Chains A and B, each alone.
Chain A
Amino acid sequence: MSNQVVKKKKAIKPYHRIKAHANPASDYHFYYPVSPDQHDWSKNYPDIIKADDEESKKKRVEIADVGCGYGGLTISLGTLFPETLCVGMELRDKVVQYVDERIVKLREKTPGSYQNISVIRTNGMKYLPNYFHKGQLQKIFFLFPDPHFKKANHKRRIISPTLLSEYAYILAPGALAYFISDVEELYLWMYEHFKNHPLFQQVERHVAESDPCVPLIINSSEEARKVNRIDGKKWYAVFRRIEDPATKDKSFVNYTLTSPKESTTTDASI
């Protein structure tokens, strides 16, 4: 490999101050499409979707990584599902910029690859219906969301009973929602809300464990690695979007715990 050139081109995480948290309730002044049909996806997936080719426009995003951070999961998903369009969604502008550049570099480095991944700056709590049609998504991920510990700020949490209705709307029946956290309190909060929502049903543990996405949610994102470095615990669960609430099985009570010991990641210094 020609390290010199690669090194120069490698996207560098910005050294400037970045706020660790963004307030999703603020009115940020960024672009979002009026409706899903108005968004020009050819800018996000130039090799796959062409603005002047109606047929190519039929290809739609099916995987969303909400609050994608530095994009570790989004990129891994793109490799795991090379035929599927996958988008990372992130609120902090500088972080989005970083992921954007990262994807550009990856595409340059391996021509033909990473064409199916992209990143969008948006507020996942407000604008998902602006990007996705009803039932469009097959998978949605919420990895290590901001915990917003303060009671008064709980409404800023990305999982809530009212927001789950919106997520259910953009998910196809049978589609899967994944979430993981290193904060037990937040995990339990998300778990309870998913469990209580009529349109979500927990995926059986053995099914979840053989899902190829599960190792990725445990280890592929930057936040996951950070937790590994400090030997922290992680909790995750997978839920399925169901169509008829009458079929909902309320018997699941266990939740899934992972610790970095099970993982294979090497230790890295901070």
Chain B
Amino acid sequence: MSTEQQTTTTPSITLSKAPISFIAHSQNGELIAFAVNTQLFVYNSKSNTFYDIAPTDQHTAFVRSIEFSNHKDTIADNGFIMTGSSDKCVKVWKVVDGNKVQCSKTLPLNKKIICTALNNDNDSLLVSDKCGDVFRYSLFDDSKNKLSTPNQNNNNNNKASKQDERESDENLSFGHYSSIIDLKFSKCQNYLFSADRDEKIRVSKFPNSFDIEIFCLGHKKYITEVLVVPNKPELLVTGSGDGTIKVWNWKQGKCLQTLDLNDKLIDAVTIPQCFDEKNNNLIVSVEDSPNLFIYNFDQESSTFKSTPTTVSLKASPIKVSLVNNSFLVSLMTIEPTSDLLVELETTFEIRQQSIIAESVNKISTVSLDKNALKTLLETIEKKSNRKHVSYARNPQIHKKRTNGGQPKDDDEDDLDDIPSDLDDENTTTDAATTAASQEKPLKLRKMTVEGAKEIEQELASAKQP
């Protein structure tokens, strides 16, 4: 299991750097925001300085997402920044007095936020929780939001009352039966992509998200990331634990191309990072690999060239963001002396005197104990939301049954199966497993042949006249 691997690779040091888990930027590239564990950093690329953020404004748990408002009315003043965190809050941030970034609003959602998507209307915010439900909130009109009170937030660990909340939640927009790993809007904003820990990518209409347009099915393991390519809005690029990148015509749910990295790496987990529109390059990273894989889009054939160029880095990249004509790459590193961020030219040479990388690499080291660090690293990779194995490509099990061989006696085995998504509400897997198995009633049902006999007689008599 991946948790164990993680333990062995994590050195038992307490003072280390926390990697940058998220990078986002304003549309004009002036503001660049970074998430480091629980903290938000905002950098001004014109003045090459960080904005001041009051420590009391910061989230109290891991920052899961950063989004810049992209409505045309707000671009002039750089709009606002929105962050979602494991502390179950969404915050809205604004630049004030020229050198400060202030939290102007906190929405307590009382849900473990897995991912968010901000609509261009500058107000609709979608949030997916651990159970695969997606809620829609208004950033600025609180009358549309059902928010939790702080005491509910802390004391309510009772499953039944949690369920009560879920059922009465007017903000529920749609949901998957599995945890949603990524949520993105189409360029036109009228569709929504949601990808889950099974293998599904769902395309829903927006705002009528109860109406599913299509599913993009083809991946054989969990999805890692959904990438919308702005200058090719009809395409969708996805990564997966199955080691491939798939390119879709999402409107038709059709897979146009599969870029397979399995021949280069064993058990590759692919992440499409960004698309360089000028040079038509798709940048892909692979979990635990220090390489970036660059796929060039051939305009003539309208497909990606199947052989990537490889770029080697010092550590495995977490996020790659194209800002102001260069790539900012955050690295999975915890050594106090190593770099958290490198800047690459669009030709992929490392920029030697990078002002931004130097500034970012100076930001304070955080002290974390071994466990906190381990959790952080796992959270960064969203590992907890993944299913370890998928059996979609193992029809052996099915064959066994249909060929009349001994069936797998797994009705009973199910009892100590992997915990359900629902039970994930308790963060620790062990607790969830025991809770689930205690609850399951093991009833015995008397089986008789009468029912079948009766029906057969009836069917026989129905056939006679």
Residues of A within 8 A of B (CB): 10-15, 17-36, 43, 70, 72, 75-76, 79, 92-94, 96-97, 100, 102, 106, 110, 113, 121, 125-126, 129-130, 134, 150-156, 161-166, 168-169, 197-199, 220, 222, 225-226, 245, 266, 268-270
10 A-B residue pairs with CB within 8 Å: A13-B448, A28-B410, A28-B417, A29-B397, A34-B199, A75-B455, A94-B411, A169-B212, A199-B211, A245-B211
Cα–Cα, bound, A270→B387 (Å): 43
Distance to closest chain A CB from B387 (angstroms):
6
CB distance A20 to B212 under 8 Å?
Answer: no
| Mask of B1-29 contacts with A, CB within 8 angstroms, 1/0 | 00000000000000000000000000000
Query: Smallest distance from the beta carbon of A209 to chain B beta carbons, Å?
Result: 20
B175-A162 in contact (CB<8A): yes
B118-146 residues at the A interface, CB under 8 angstroms: 131-133
**Interface 1/0s, chain B 441-465, versus A by CB < 8 A?**
1111111111111111001001100
Whether B407 lies near A166 (C-beta < 8 A) is no
Contacts of B212 in A (CB 8 A): 134, 165-166, 168-169
- Report the separation of the CA atoms of residues A213 and B425 in the bound assembly, to the nearest whole angstrom: 41
Q: Give Cα A216 to B174, complex, Å.
A: 32
Query: How distant is the Cα of A225 from the Cα of B456 in the complex, in angstroms?
Result: 14
Q: Which residues of A contact B217 (CB under 8 A)?
A: 34-36, 129-130
Q: Is B422 among interface residues, defined by CB-CB distance under 8 A? A: yes
Say whether A93 contacts B215, CB under 8 Å.
Answer: no
Cβ contact within 8 Å between B422 and A93? no
Contact B397 A31 (CB under 8 A): yes
Q: Is the CB of B454 within 8 A of A268?
A: yes
Nearest CB on B from A154, distance (A) = 5
Instruction: Pick the 7 closest A-B CB pairs, nearest first.
Output: A25-B420, A31-B398, A162-B175, A152-B159, A35-B217, A20-B443, A151-B160
Task: Give the Cβ gap from A153 to chain B, nearest Cβ, in Å.
Answer: 7
Q: Which A residues lie within 8 Å of B410 (CB)?
A: 28-29, 93
Given contacts A97-B407, A126-B178, contact A27 B387 (CB under 8 A): yes
Query: CB distance B398 to A150 under 8 Å?
Result: no
Given A29-B397, A29-B410, does the pair A13, B172 have CB atoms closer than 8 Å? no
B417 touches A155 (CB 8 A): no
Known contacts A13-B452, A31-B397, A199-B210: A155-B444 contact under CB 8 Å: no
Judging by beta carbons under 8 Å apart, are B411 and A152 in contact? no
- Beyond contacts A36-B217, A162-B175, A165-B211: 17 other A-B pairs, Cβ-Cβ < 8 A, are A26-B414, A26-B419, A29-B389, A31-B391, A34-B219, A35-B215, A76-B459, A79-B459, A96-B401, A151-B159, A162-B132, A162-B133, A198-B210, A220-B455, A222-B452, A225-B454, A269-B450
Give complex CA distance A18, B210 in Å. Answer: 36
Verify A34–B393 contact, CB threshold 8 A. Answer: yes
The reply to whether A34 and B220 form a contact with Cβ atoms under 8 Å apart is yes
Query: Please, how many angstroms separate the alpha-carbon atoms of A36 and B200 in the complex?
Result: 13
Q: Given that A198-B208, A199-B210 are known contacts, is A126 also in contact with B163, CB under 8 Å in the complex?
A: no
B260 to chain A, nearest CB (A): 15
CA distance A109 to B440 in the complex (A): 39
Within 8 A of A (CB), among B377-408: 387, 389, 391-399, 401-402, 407-408
Tell me if A129 and B401 are in contact (CB < 8 A).
no
Asked if B263 is at the interface of the complex by the 8 Å CB criterion, the answer is no
CB-defined contacts of A150 to chain B, threshold 8 Å: 160, 439
Pairwise interchain contact A155-B422, C-beta atoms closer than 8 A: yes
Contact: B393 with A23, CB < 8 Å?
no
C-alpha gap A247/B454 in the complex (Å): 43
Whether B357 sits at the interface, judged by CB under 8 Å, is no
**Which residues of chain B from 176 to 225 have any CB-CB distance to chain A below 8 Å in the complex?**
176-178, 198-200, 204, 208-212, 214-215, 217-220
Binary per-residue interface labels of chain B (324-360) against chain A in the complex, 1 for a CB within 8 Å, 0 otherwise: 0000000000000000000000000000000000000
- How far, in angstroms, from A150 to B375 measured CA to CA in the complex? 32
List of B residues within 8 angstroms of A14 by Cβ: 447
Contacts of A121 in B (CB 8 A): 398, 401
**A29 touching B391 in the complex, CB below 8 Å, given contacts A94-B411, A165-B211, A169-B212:** yes
B220 to chain A: closest residue by CB: A34
Which residue among B220, B422, B449, B451 has the maximum number of chain A CB atoms within 10 Å of its CB? B451
Chain A residues, Cβ within 8 Å of B394: 31
Nearest A residue (CB) for B424: A25
Separation in Å of the B294 CB from the closest CB of chain A?
A: 28
Contact B447 A13 (CB under 8 A): yes
Option from A21, A27, A35, A155 in Cβ contact (under 8 Å) with B441: A21
Select A22's contact among B172, B399, B401, B414, beta carbons within 8 Å. Answer: B414
- Does A161 contact B172, Cβ atoms closer than 8 Å? yes
Point out the residue from B133, B393, B418 that lies within 8 Å of A26, measured CB to CB.
B418
Partner of A25, one of B211, B407, B422: B422
Residues on A with beta carbons closer than 8 Å to the beta carbon of B445: 18, 20
Q: Does B77 contact A (CB under 8 A)?
A: no
> In the docked arrangement, what's the CA distance between A199 and B209, Å?
11
Q: How far is the CA of A268 from the CA of B448 in the complex (A)?
A: 11
A250 to B168, CA, bound (A): 20
List the A side residues contacting B219 at CB < 8 Å: 34
B368 at interface, CB cutoff 8 A: no
Which chain B positions have C-beta within 8 A of A18? 411, 444-445, 447
A152 and B162 contact, CB distance less than 8 A: yes
| In the complex with contacts A18-B445, A25-B421, A32-B392 CB distance below 8 A | yes
B166 contacts the other chain (Cβ, under 8 Å)?
Answer: yes
Note all chain A residues with C-beta closer than 8 A to B73. none
Chain B min CB distance to A151 (Å): 4
- B455 near A151 (CB under 8 angstroms)? no
